[in-house]
Structure 1
Amino acid sequence: MRRGTVPVRGYAVTRWSRAFVDVVEGRTDIADATGTQRSGSVTESADSRRISKARRYFRDRHVHRLSIRPGQVTASVEGSQLDPFDVILSMRTVDVDTVATLLRSRAGVAEVMSVARGEQPPIVGELLGPTESADVASQCSCPDEAVRCIHVLAVAYEVAAEIDRSPLALFTVMGTDLPSLLDALGNNSDTDSDESAAQGTSGVGDESDGDGSDGDPSTEHETLSAVDFFGTHAPLPPLPRPTRSNPLTDLDGTALRAALRASGVAPGDIAEAVDELGDLYDRLVQE
């Protein structure tokens, strides 16, 4: 009788949770476009041994009593000692009014309602989630003095799995919720309308010579050419920002697991072999 396969636990299979894990592991600091470390960030990403062991802890369900509250995550993790270690992740929470303002400036308001449908739109995720390691402070009762110990990483992977299941988990992690953001967007909309109306009223006749122009047709033409190139009064769209991808998680792993089995890897070691391939892929991408 053929033995049934045990499903492998996964995390960071969606855009938002992948970005969250990258921040906790310190990968975003290494990939800083300036080529230098940002203030307050870890000096290097968590080493591959810690990551591999933390993945095993996650896969083997060593994390217990996970609690996600606004701006803080707590859990206990079974480790090398008899008593479990206590882990706390504290977030630098977002200011919901600032997020709302940035969403409006980047034409991302329409994305917000898609979150309620379980989607993870890119602009909302970029503005809501942490962007550098300093945004996520970690504490663990274990003796390891590393910035991100195995137990902290394992808890972060559990949080990423929750974000995979529901994008609203990221809202809670970062100290807010969807209704608060919708309220802020509504308030900002009213404020912007009032300011636009006030500017339109106060501007009548202030800079005009009476014929509806500013008196300098050449200057007006230059302004329209630069600001309103298409004549639609709409801003140019931002350049595309491709998300970080990992073929080991983004693609169907059935063929990979079959190839590993055919190469002689024992069924119980396939998940670990996939993790090792993931570590190798990360090193290739970083180099």
Structure 2
Amino acid sequence: MSARRRGPAPVRGYGITGWSRAFVSVVEAEADHRHITGARRYFRDRHVDGLQIGEGRVTSSVRGTQLDPFEVILVTRVVDPETVIDLLRRTGSAGDLLALARGEQPPGLGNLIAPTESADVESDCTCPDEAPRCVHVLATAFEVAAEIDRRPTTLLQVMGTDLPALLAAAGDADEDGDDRDDATRNNATGDTDDGPMLPDDFYGDRVVLPPPPPVPAVDALTELDPAVLRIALRSSGVAATQVAEAFDDLATFYTEIKRRT
């Protein structure tokens, strides 16, 4: 009886959800297309071992080209739960906590928690590569992004907090609000002889708006399938021995185009 053939392994993905893409975009911001392509291969082939996600700190071991794995550390700027709750209330997005508890990724809360610039995620690796983001750091970030896709609360942990801490901060804010209401109940503005008064800050001049959503940096070369690009170059007359050099030329031309635009 012949052995049953196994089908191809499922393709791994990351950056499927908005919160995950926001995290990946800031880590990739300082990386070039060659490192990103290599890191994607490491992610796909499961080179990242022992991923540990703590409050504001991620560690892993990544198998590279040497016998011993390289050790990676990601350290993020941490968010303050009280500040997040205050901003959610000011923007009328207090319901985002319940949405998160249901497994959703509300964009309002994501804009307050997710990193917005490369400096928000510092990285270090024991490999000799001096690039701002080596393939081992990027592969680790891709694994974190995949975890965020599966479980949105992972982003909270990466940024130094969790859902219980946010709920506790929300409860404290409710108690503070009740105390203020009791102290000012007799002086509250309401109906007058001339009719109801306009509420304080009727035109919203003092409303604190949330920060604009981050715009992910897009590098056209990293979005191209290397195998398809190789076939296209060969079809255009590039010799097999010159494909790598053609890749480098394309990267140089693309960088110059972006600089001029």
Match of 1:57 among 1, 19, 42: 42
CA apart distance, 1:198: 2.9
Q: TM-score, normalised by structure 2?
A: 0.72
* CA distance in 1: counterparts of 2:199 and 2:114, whole angstroms: 36
| Corresponding position: 1:121 with 2:115 | no
| Corresponding position: 1:8 with 2:11 | yes
Select between 194-203 and 68-77 the one with higher mean Cα deviation.
194-203
CA RMSD of aligned residues (A): 4.1
Report if the CA contact (8 A) 1:11-1:17 is conserved: yes
Report if the CA contact (8 A) 2:76-2:158 is conserved: yes
Residues 119 and 178 from structure 1, CA distance in 2 versus in 1: closer, same or farther, beyond 3 angstroms? Answer: same
Alignment of 1:10-89 (within 5 A): 10-26=13-29, 45-89=30-74
Residue 272 (structure 1) aligns with: none
* CA distance in 1: counterparts of 2:258 and 2:110, whole angstroms: 23
Give the letter for the 1:126 counterpart. N
CA apart distance, 1:242: 7.4
Residues 171 and 225 from structure 1, CA distance in 2 versus in 1: closer, same or farther, beyond 3 angstroms? Answer: closer
Secondary structure of the structure 1 residue equivalent to 2:142: helix
Q: TM-score, normalised by structure 1?
A: 0.66
Task: Show CA shifts across 1:41-81 (max 9, x none).
Answer: xxxx3111111111111111111111111111100111121
* CA distance in 1: counterparts of 2:38 and 2:113, whole angstroms: 29
CA apart distance, 1:86: 0.3
Residues 194 and 145 from structure 1, CA distance in 2 versus in 1: closer, same or farther, beyond 3 angstroms? Answer: same
Task: Show CA shifts across 1:96-135 (max 9, x none).
Answer: 1111111111111111112122111111111122222111
* CA distance in 2: counterparts of 1:124 and 1:80, whole angstroms: 40
Task: Show CA shifts across 1:183-240 (max 9, x none).
Answer: 1101111212322443443567xxxxxx656xxx9xx99xx599547xxx9x99x79x
* CA distance in 1: counterparts of 2:151 and 2:112, whole angstroms: 17
Residue 142 (structure 2) aligns with: 157
Residues 189 and 142 from structure 1, CA distance in 2 versus in 1: closer, same or farther, beyond 3 angstroms? Answer: same
Give the letter for the 2:37 counterpart. S
Give the letter for the 1:138 counterpart. S
Report if the CA contact (8 A) 2:81-2:169 is conserved: yes
Please, which runs of 5 or more residues in structure 2 have no aligned partner?
218-224, 233-246
Alignment of 1:203-218 (within 5 A): none
Residue correspondences, number: 228
Give the letter for the 1:136 counterpart. V
Q: Percent identity?
A: 50
Residues 147 and 72 from structure 1, CA distance in 2 versus in 1: closer, same or farther, beyond 3 angstroms? Answer: same
* CA distance in 2: counterparts of 1:159 and 1:91, whole angstroms: 12
Please, which runs of 5 or more residues in structure 1 have no aligned partner?
27-44, 205-210, 247-256, 265-275
Residues 8 and 244 from structure 1, CA distance in 2 versus in 1: closer, same or farther, beyond 3 angstroms? Answer: farther
Residues 142 and 242 from structure 1, CA distance in 2 versus in 1: closer, same or farther, beyond 3 angstroms? Answer: closer
| Corresponding position: 1:104 with 2:100 | no
Report if the CA contact (8 A) 1:15-1:243 is conserved: no
